[in-house]
Chains A and B, each alone.
Chain A
Amino acid sequence: MKRNFACGSIEHRISRRSLLAGMLGGSVGAGLAHVSGLSHFIRPAMAGELAAQQKRVLIFFMAGGVSQLETWDPKPNTDTGGPFLAIPTSVPGVHISELLPYTAQQMHRLSIVRSLNTAEDDHGKGAVFMETGRRDSPAQQYPKLGSVISNLVAPPSAALPGYVHIQPGGGGVNKADAAFLGPKFASVNIDDGKPPANLLRPDGLTPAIDQQRNDVRRRMNSRFTARRRTAETEAYGFSYDQALQLMERADVFDVSKEPAADQERYGKHDFGRHCLLARRLLEQGLTCVKVTHSNYDSHSENFDFHIEQLGEFDRPFATLIDDLAQRGMLESTLVIVMSEFGRTPRINHLMGRDHWSKAWSVALAGCGLHPGAVIGKTNDNGTEVTDRQVDARHLFHTYLSALGVDATDNYPGLNRPIPIADPTGSEISELLA
């Protein structure tokens, strides 16, 4: 029997005919709506609808592989459980590790998926699978979630970048994240307090001088495009205007502008400041923020490692979830806490846990996901998934569904048909409220 997969069956999606027409029907001139390549500039209905709904995404990437046993799926008093207890949470019957006391009080706003089996124990390939929803393949790279969000969800007219990645020592742009979507959708990497490179005018270039030279540019453009206007010229000129707008808002990236009391609540350490900066950016209208917390690769001294790292993670994370909820933003903000994989139930001779992708967990929140839900189960000592096994493909479909994107569509505006999410996966429907 031939299965009815998305990249073959496209009844309610872009038809092959209209796709080809889109590829071939480019034109030059005033009829901008028909120009191929315009898609990067003004995208069709889908982006417009989403923009109106103001969806946002906040990704926590726990680099190195956080232990599911010390976080979302504790197994106390078993041979694999380690020394920590499980504590009750704000959801009756749901317990998580005692290393996350503040987070436990936000459980009624979180969901946990405890039944991941991603079968990929390599850091690089695990990260690719988790962040692109597709297995690493040498012949084709796919965009990471942040770039996908930037492409499909971020309003194209926004002055702010669609996808910002906060990490210690951040800077520059990671084009690899965007793959075939192109550098416009790459991550803009920032460290706390420091705006993207070249956002601040150099000494001697006053706003007045900048305005004057941009006036020269605009007059030149208006003469040139009087009979040569294309989507490309529009996009290029528009980008200067967006950059000028952003220069006026450079303090968007400056976390020191947040109230002192909030800086205290989030903590003065890197991760605390990064969480507060994430809140600031989301409040200012940025669409996708990824915060990397390093490093959880605890091949030795796993328990000390997790006391320290999660001790840093717990409170600012819980504070941010609470703040988003209090401000009414959580219902439109998808929050994801992921790693490249989990850690072995078996405790090695160095008191460490090694790479483990066979049975591990992620936590999610917001954007209409079923709050307090716990999806799937592992066995008593966490060595196997016993119920509702899923992997990164299912998560990727679920993220996009939560954002209102039909993940079985092809990417709009590309010159070849590529389905947004892996057609062999599907959403975790019981998570979607």
Chain B
Amino acid sequence: MSIAFVLAIAFAEVLYGQQAAPLHELIDRQIAAALSAKGISPAAPADDAEFLRRIYLDLTGSIPTVGEAKAFLDDKSPLKRQQLIDRLLNSPEYARQMQRVFDVALMERRPANRVPQAEWEQYLRESFAANKPWDVLVREILAADGADPNLRPAARFYLDRDGEANLVARDVGRLMLGRDMQCAQCHDHPLVEHYLQADYYGLIAFFNRSFIFTPKDNKQPAVIAEKGEGDVSFKSVFVDGATDQPARPHMPGAGGPIEPQFVKGQEYVVAPAKDVRPLPKYSRRSMLPELLTARDNVPFRRNIANRLWALMMGRGLFNPLDMDHPENPPSHPELLDLLAGQIAAMNFDIKAFLRELALSQTYQRTSALPPGVASVPADSYAVAQLKPLSAEQLALAALQATGMTDVYRASLGASLNEPALYAKLAGNLGPFVSTFAGQAGQPEQDFQATLEQILFLSNGGVLRSWIAPQGGNLANRLGPVKEPPAVAEEMFLSVLTRRPVVEEAAELKAELERRAQERPAVLQEWIWGLAASDEFRFNH
């Protein structure tokens, strides 16, 4: 461990421990300094409605009810934003939203073949409900062998990649170290000087002795097993006459474990045999969790700090999130160092870290450009970024917007709680997920709008049925409301989490008066028009 690093941690701990300057203020100072150096003026703070919709989507995965929106907008307390952040972070909806975010991040929508999706989700949800630190979660995921029933879901990372060493190593690099070294499989990365073939194989060396062991008794689940011997070697396909070079397990650019040497034939507690799960005296795979999550493994903390930053701010300090290398430098290098140091000093407390991000002015800016400003660089954080809703956010927000969630709430009566309500909502997510989610095994892509998605929203039966009046949903509630301004207020609060501007209320009023005989049709056209708008599709 370098002296500079020890000092950095100590410094961070002093700052954090004493609350001398909370992290959110340090963030704002750094962003402000960079803006000032570039002569860019930041946008104004988001108004309450814009903040409200944003924080609900980010921390709970959906939008607030009309009642919640009104209560917040009409609250006069100067502390109401902080109070809302704290309330949402401690809600069961937070744990479920983080479960979704980290499920997609870690499994990238791969099929659940060996660990049921529901068990994996429950494991993640309980982890986030208990605010399990990120390094602990990663250690559990990498150490689990599937044999311990309590931690079997954690083994899904490995089991549902079929124990394929290249794939597991690549994804450990991408998702836990922020480095996609796939191109270094066959040669030193041609475009990224710092991604070396030797480092890629150093990661593979933790996994190449492991394999999925299927017990002879088919009722027993497949588990991860490991051999006590077997090395990896590599040579560049781009160098004629290259000779094989051995790779020992190690973190990229760092050392590896000191490995015990055994006499040939003495490597095992349980030797490999037909239908026998071998048990080596020394397990390479079990060396990885501690090495990867070690306090002095800088890429590990940069990765999680950058991913959580991107979750809230809409883009990573380095982008893509798995291309951390000197030729793709972060937009704010000192800020990334600060965040990485702080999250380590906070013992990888995800909730506390997200709280600081949410409290920052940087997070709480409007997404609208200042008047008269044509554009600002996206990586300046001068305005809030538009974030496309995930498939699940879109479905949950549409259910709430159309009032269908209210219908389910009412149906639960006194037994209303988050799991019961979610059980009702869950069955509605499928068509949205299959239409809007990315392809299994691919990282989340830049925003794309496909024909299939637009036709699903335009002509599909799902959204159509939610918009049609039924049992206390939005269209049904609006039916008897006489005064056009009251109709506009309820509709805009329900769908867009804000009150209408004068012009919008006037347009709706005029349309309701002009087509008085077609009132239900007008209401449904407007609900659809709002739900199909950019303002709804993006978290702004």
Residues A24 and B450 in contact in the complex (CB < 8 Å), given A221-B533, A240-B458:
no
Residues A239 and B451 in contact in the complex (CB < 8 Å), given A29-B376, A179-B439, A201-B459:
yes
Q: Are A138 and B369 in contact (CB under 8 A)?
A: no
- A380 CB to closest chain B CB (Å) equals 35
> Which chain B residues numbered 292 to 340 have a C-beta less than 8 Å away from chain A?
315, 319-320, 323, 327-328, 331
- A421 CB to closest chain B CB (Å) equals 15
Q: Are B170 and A217 in contact (CB under 8 A)?
A: no
B166's partner among A138, A221, A227 (CB-CB below 8 A) is: A138
Q: Are B451 and A188 in contact (CB under 8 A)?
A: yes
Binds A, one of B131-139, B179-187, B482-490: B179-187
Q: Does B529 contact A (CB under 8 A)?
A: yes
Residue of B nearest to A4 (CB): B238
- A379 CB to closest chain B CB (Å) equals 30
> Which chain A residues numbered 207 to 229 have a C-beta less than 8 Å away from chain B?
209-210, 212-217, 219-221, 223-225, 227-228
Q: Are B374 and A29 in contact (CB under 8 A)?
A: yes
Distance in angstroms between the alpha carbons of A410 and B451 in the assembled complex: 26
Q: Which 9 A-B pairs have the closest CB atoms?
A: A29-B375, A216-B529, A198-B455, A26-B378, A213-B525, A239-B449, A220-B533, A8-B190, A227-B368
Residues A27 and B449 in contact in the complex (CB < 8 Å), given A138-B167, A221-B534, A415-B319:
no
Q: Are A28 and B180 in contact (CB under 8 A)?
A: no
Distance in angstroms between the alpha carbons of A186 and B452 in the assembled complex: 10
Q: Are B374 and A31 in contact (CB under 8 A)?
A: yes
Distance in angstroms between the alpha carbons of A224 and B388 in the assembled complex: 15
- A356 CB to closest chain B CB (Å) equals 27
Distance in angstroms between the alpha carbons of A23 and B328 in the assembled complex: 9
Q: Are B386 and A230 in contact (CB under 8 A)?
A: yes
Residues A35 and B378 in contact in the complex (CB < 8 Å), given A179-B439, A179-B442, A239-B449:
yes
Most buried by A among B166, B383, B451, B521: B451
> Which chain A residues numbered 159 to 217 have a C-beta less than 8 Å away from chain B?
161, 172-173, 175-176, 178-180, 182-184, 186, 188, 196-202, 205, 209-210, 212-217
Distance in angstroms between the alpha carbons of A238 and B451 in the assembled complex: 11
Chain A hits for B383, CB < 8 A: 28
Distance in angstroms between the alpha carbons of A188 and B454 in the assembled complex: 14
Distance in angstroms between the alpha carbons of A217 and B164 in the assembled complex: 47
Chain A hits for B442, CB < 8 A: 141, 179-180
Chain B hits for A199, CB < 8 A: 455, 459
> Which chain B residues numbered 522 to 540 have a C-beta less than 8 Å away from chain A?
524-526, 528-530, 532-535, 537-538, 540
Interface flags for B357-378 (1: CB within 8 Å of A; 0: not) read 0000000000111010111111
Residue of B nearest to A234 (CB): B534
Residues A416 and B323 in contact in the complex (CB < 8 Å), given A29-B374, A424-B237:
yes
Chain B hits for A227, CB < 8 A: 368-369, 371
Interface flags for B207-222 (1: CB within 8 Å of A; 0: not) read 0000000000000000
Chain A positions within 8 Å of B, measured between CB atoms, are: 1-3, 5, 7-8, 16, 19-20, 23-31, 34-37, 40, 137-141, 161, 172-173, 175-176, 178-180, 182-184, 186, 188, 196-202, 205, 209-210, 212-217, 219-221, 223-225, 227-228, 230, 232-233, 235-240, 242-243, 246-247, 415-417, 424
Q: Are A200 and B378 in contact (CB under 8 A)?
A: no
Most buried by A among B240, B328, B331, B378: B378
B439's partner among A3, A175, A221, A247 (CB-CB below 8 A) is: A175
18 further A-B contacts with Cβ under 8 Å, apart from A3-B239, A138-B164, A213-B526, are A1-B240, A3-B240, A24-B379, A28-B377, A34-B375, A40-B448, A173-B452, A179-B439, A186-B439, A196-B451, A198-B458, A212-B525, A216-B525, A217-B533, A224-B534, A233-B534, A242-B451, A417-B190
Distance in angstroms between the alpha carbons of A237 and B456 in the assembled complex: 15
Q: Are B375 and A30 in contact (CB under 8 A)?
A: yes
Size of the B side of the interface (Cβ < 8 Å), in residues, is 78
- B249 CB to closest chain A CB (Å) equals 18
Q: Does B441 contact A (CB under 8 A)?
A: yes
Most buried by A among B373, B379, B534: B534
- A133 CB to closest chain B CB (Å) equals 16
A182's partner among B185, B191, B448 (CB-CB below 8 A) is: B448
A202's partner among B461, B503, B525 (CB-CB below 8 A) is: B461
Distance in angstroms between the alpha carbons of A20 and B521 in the assembled complex: 50
B185's partner among A8, A35, A139 (CB-CB below 8 A) is: A139
Q: Are B446 and A178 in contact (CB under 8 A)?
A: no
Distance in angstroms between the alpha carbons of A64 and B220 in the assembled complex: 35
Distance in angstroms between the alpha carbons of A213 and B170 in the assembled complex: 47
Chain B hits for A237, CB < 8 A: 534
A28's partner among B185, B369, B453 (CB-CB below 8 A) is: B369
Q: Does B472 contact A (CB under 8 A)?
A: no
B320's partner among A175, A196, A247, A416 (CB-CB below 8 A) is: A416
Q: Does B92 contact A (CB under 8 A)?
A: no
Chain A hits for B524, CB < 8 A: 213
Chain B hits for A138, CB < 8 A: 162, 164, 166-167
Residues A220 and B535 in contact in the complex (CB < 8 Å), given A5-B238, A139-B170:
yes
Residue of B nearest to A29 (CB): B375
B450's partner among A37, A186, A224 (CB-CB below 8 A) is: A186
Interface flags for B441-479 (1: CB within 8 Å of A; 0: not) read 111011111111111101111001000000000000000
Q: Are A139 and B182 in contact (CB under 8 A)?
A: yes
Residue of A nearest to B376 (CB): A28
Distance in angstroms between the alpha carbons of A50 and B442 in the assembled complex: 28
- B159 CB to closest chain A CB (Å) equals 14
28 pairs across A/B with beta carbons < 8 Å? A7-B190, A20-B328, A26-B379, A31-B375, A34-B375, A36-B446, A37-B446, A139-B182, A175-B438, A182-B439, A182-B445, A184-B448, A188-B451, A198-B459, A199-B455, A202-B464, A213-B525, A217-B528, A220-B530, A221-B533, A223-B503, A223-B504, A238-B449, A239-B450, A243-B458, A247-B459, A415-B319, A415-B320
Q: Are B529 and A196 in contact (CB under 8 A)?
A: no
B191's partner among A16, A25, A213, A235 (CB-CB below 8 A) is: A16
Chain B hits for A19, CB < 8 A: 191
Distance in angstroms between the alpha carbons of A215 and B450 in the assembled complex: 20
Chain A hits for B447, CB < 8 A: 37, 40, 232, 235-236
